[in-house]
Amino acid sequence: MKILSTKQPDILRNLCKPEGLSNAIYQNILKSIAENKKLLAVLIDPDKFAIEDVSWFIEKLNQSIATHVFVGGSIVEVNATERVVSEIKKYTKLPVILFPGDVTQITDYADGLLFLSLISGRNPEYLIGKHVASVSKLRNSSLEVIPTGYMLIENGKETAVQRVTETKPMPKNNIQNIVDTAKAAEFLGMKLIYLEAGSGAAHAVTSEIISSVKQELQIPLIVGGGIRTINQLDAAYKSGADLVVIGTAFEEDASFFEQLKK
């Protein structure tokens, strides 16, 4: 009989971890989908958000149907994310999840991290380079790390993601390629797909793209970028989005929360 080597206890410990201890955020997303509950993340970009506005903004968010707080941006001043996240955590029990544009935006004050691979592009830095650079921060971190296939879809104008990552968005008319890319990410073991039109996009991801991707996926689908109205939010949900991300609409007018009260 083969005796387990002394190098293996970590693997065994992980196998024995009680369900939900290390992956509570992801398990809750799966549970919501199983119960037909739609999810809404409010995106806070630390670069566009004054720290003194956090308390009243989060108070409004708490009274809304929002289920998650995402924090991140394409370009954020070093330490700004940590300041904003620690302030947000004072005012809400909702999970706060990092949606980072860069390694410097990783902070242990958050609950989770979308570990994004920009699979719509072919820039190795955003496919694996930044990930390697983040390991020294993540190795001993308590953050729930959620591998996410991140796909930028063309929306009619250039976006910050496109500029910063020096990648092209996927043409919106080649739906088969979008579907195949999402499915490839699932085969690679990613846990979420994020269809992104870009912050402040002129046109959100179309219903046809959302429904085509959703039909083939077993993993949850996030959709964001350019969603500013309840009608657009409902359309995204009806097309198959499990979780919708909205940032700009709240940044520009926080009274949008009034239309989204619990």
Residues in contact with ligand 1GP by the rule CB under 6 A: 43, 196, 199-201, 224-227, 245-249
Tell the smallest beta-carbon distance from residue 245 to ligand 1GP (Å). Answer: 4
Nearer to ligand 1GP, 95 or 226 (CB): 226
Nearer to ligand 1GP, 7 or 41 (CB): 41
Name residue, tokens 């509570």: 24
Nearer to ligand 1GP, 219 or 245 (CB): 245
Nearer to ligand 1GP, 24 or 254 (CB): 254
Which DSSP string do the residues of 53-73 spell out, in sequence order? GHHHHHHHHHTBS--EEEE--
Tell the smallest beta-carbon distance from residue 98 to ligand 1GP (Å). Answer: 13
Tell the smallest beta-carbon distance from residue 3 to ligand 1GP (Å). Answer: 50
Residue 228's contacts (CB-CB under 8 Å, 6 or more residues apart) are 246, 248, 249, 256
The total of other beta-carbon atoms located within 10 Å of residue 59's CB is: 12
Tell the smallest beta-carbon distance from residue 189 to ligand 1GP (Å). Answer: 23
The residue number with the shortest CB distance to ligand 1GP is: 224
Tell the smallest beta-carbon distance from residue 226 to ligand 1GP (Å). Answer: 5
Amino acid at 204: A
Joined together, the tokens standing for residue 139 give: 């190795």
The HSE-up count of residue 34 (CA atoms within 13 Å, CB side) is 6
Nearer to ligand 1GP, 46 or 224 (CB): 224
Asked if residues 117 and 84 have their Cβ atoms less than 8 Å apart, the reply is no
Joined together, the tokens standing for residue 175 give: 């739906």
